[in-house]
Structures are given as structure tokens and as C-alpha cells.
Amino acid sequence: MAVVEVNNLVKSYGPLEAVKGITFSINRGEIFGLIGPNGAGKTTTLRVLSTLLKISSGSIKIMDYDLEKEPDEVRKIISYLPEDAGAYKNLSGRRYLEFIANFFQEKNTQQMISRGMEIANLGERIDDKVDTYSKGMMRKLLVGRALMTEPKLAILDEPTSGLDVNNAQEIRRLVKSTARAGTTVLLSSHNMLEVEFMCDRIALISNGIIVEEGTPRDLMEKYNAKNIEEVFTKVVR
Ligand code: ATP
């Protein structure tokens, strides 16, 4: 069953058409990766799907909801991790997760907070103020925040950006196990190893258009490439 159906999506900023009519769908529990050069339209696509930007034309369905007509319903079932997100600097990591969890009163907030802390895996530093965190610690806290709510759809803009190798691997494993537990994931990344390891399917977006789509294996076969980086350089010249 498709959790996400994007149909001929166009998004313009004034005269600039950043996304020029893209179509894709994502099935339940799939990890779907958007890759592409700088300025290709990845963040724009993710921001539209998270209801933060208005659609210029086309349509998006998330589960049974039409994103334009029922954005509030969509917001209840998604979670968005922006590329450049921050947290409230005066709160400790734990207080920040508690603060966010309290928005989800119908759910078991204590369990949600524990899950967030487990994902963030900050040890004792979870009780330090967020403004003392390194970039990687902040990212881990935010990934914890995004996944603790067990959203139907997690939209992750470069989830491991700024993380060292060990932390990035830990986050990748977590995202994978979250998907196995039923969360559908849409992510963007510049790390080709990451998308090869994590994604069930990849869409390569260039200049606002999806120019290739498929499983990592199919794409590597099609381009006779050793890895996704090679596919990328062959497709995007
Ligand atoms: P990157 O890999 O560099 O993060 P991206 O694929 O995420 O790039 P977008 O951020 O979606 O690309 O940008 C797509 C196009 O839209 C670019 O030409 C960018 O300059 C433009 N753009 C993005 N945000 C805005 C905005 N708020 N106003 C005007 N133009 C914008």
C-alpha cells in the first residue's frame, strides 16, 4: 500500500520553478531516498511534503489524506527533520524531548520520551543544556525527536549531516529498524554510501526533475556501476 503518492508536483518560488513536475510513490515501511546535486529541489520537495510550503500545482496524498485539503491531518502522522534544525537552547535535551512529547497528549508521552532518549543516545549529556551540545549531539537529539513519535511517515533532510562515522552508522541502523517497525521514511542525502546502504529505492533529482528512479541494485546494474556514486556521476553530468 502506498503511504505517499506525489503526482506531477510543481513548486515555484516566484518566477523560479524549483520542482518541475515530479511523480513518485512510497510504500509502507520503505526507505525512499532523494539524491541529486546542490539546488536540485530535494529540500523543496521535502518541505512541501511536510506541509511547510504550498504546492504550486499537482497533488500529494499521504495515507488517505490530500495534503492540500487536510494539512492538519497530515501533520499528525508525519515527522520532519529539517536540514538546518535547531532545538530550544535553554532547555536540556531531556526537557526538549518532554516539551515536544507533550504535544502528543493522546499517546503515552513517557514511553515516547524514553524512546527519544534511547535514539538520541546522549548518555548523561541528555541533562545538559542544548546550547552546550556539539553539532553531532544536536543532530542525534533531533533524530530522536523526529522518530520518537513513531510517525507513519518520517521526512528526514540529510539525517546524518555533521555526524562522525560511528554516530552516522548508529543513526542509519536506527532509521532502518524504525522502518522495519512500520514507519515509512523519505530522506535526502549527499552521502552515496548512506543511500546505498539504507534505501530500498532512490530517486535521482536534477534541476527539479526526477531523472532516474529504482532500487540501488537496479540502478547500479543499469549503469554498469560499482556503486551509487558512480551512478550519480554518470547520470548527472
Ligand atoms: P542542496 O543539496 O544544495 O541542499 P536542494 O536539492 O535541497 O539543494 P533546494 O534547496 O530545494 O535544493 O533548492 C532548489 C532551488 O530552489 C534552488 O535553485 C534554490 O536556490 C531555490 N530556492 C530554495 N529555496 C528558495 C526560497 N526560499 N526562495 C527562492 N528560491 C529558493
DSSP reduced 3-state for 10:
strand
* Residue 43 CA to ligand 1 centre (angstroms): 7
Q: Is 91 helix (H, G, I), strand (E, B) or coil?
A: coil
The grid cell for 153 is 511517515
Q: Domain 2-85+152-235 belongs to what architecture?
A: 3-Layer(aba) Sandwich (3.40)
CA of 158 to the centre of ligand 1 (A): 14
Whole-angstrom distance, CA of residue 216 vs CA of residue 234 = 14
Q: Is the CA virtual torsion 166, 140, 143, 180 positive or negative?
A: positive
**What pLDDT tens digit does each residue of the chain (237 aa) get?**
799 999 999 999 999 999 999 999 999 999 999 999 999 999 999 999 999 999 999 999 999 899 999 999 999 999 999 987 777 778 999 999 999 998 877 678 999 999 999 999 999 999 999 999 988 889 899 999 999 999 999 999 999 988 899 989 988 998 998 899 899 999 999 999 899 999 999 999 999 999 999 999 999 999 999 999 999 999 987
Ligand 1 pocket, residues with Cβ under 6 angstroms = 13, 16, 18, 36, 38-44
Measured in angstroms, how far is the CA atom of residue 182 from the centroid of ligand 1?
A: 30
d(CA 79, CA 155): 6
Pocket test for ligand 1, best of 43, 47, 155 (most atoms within 8 A of CB): 43
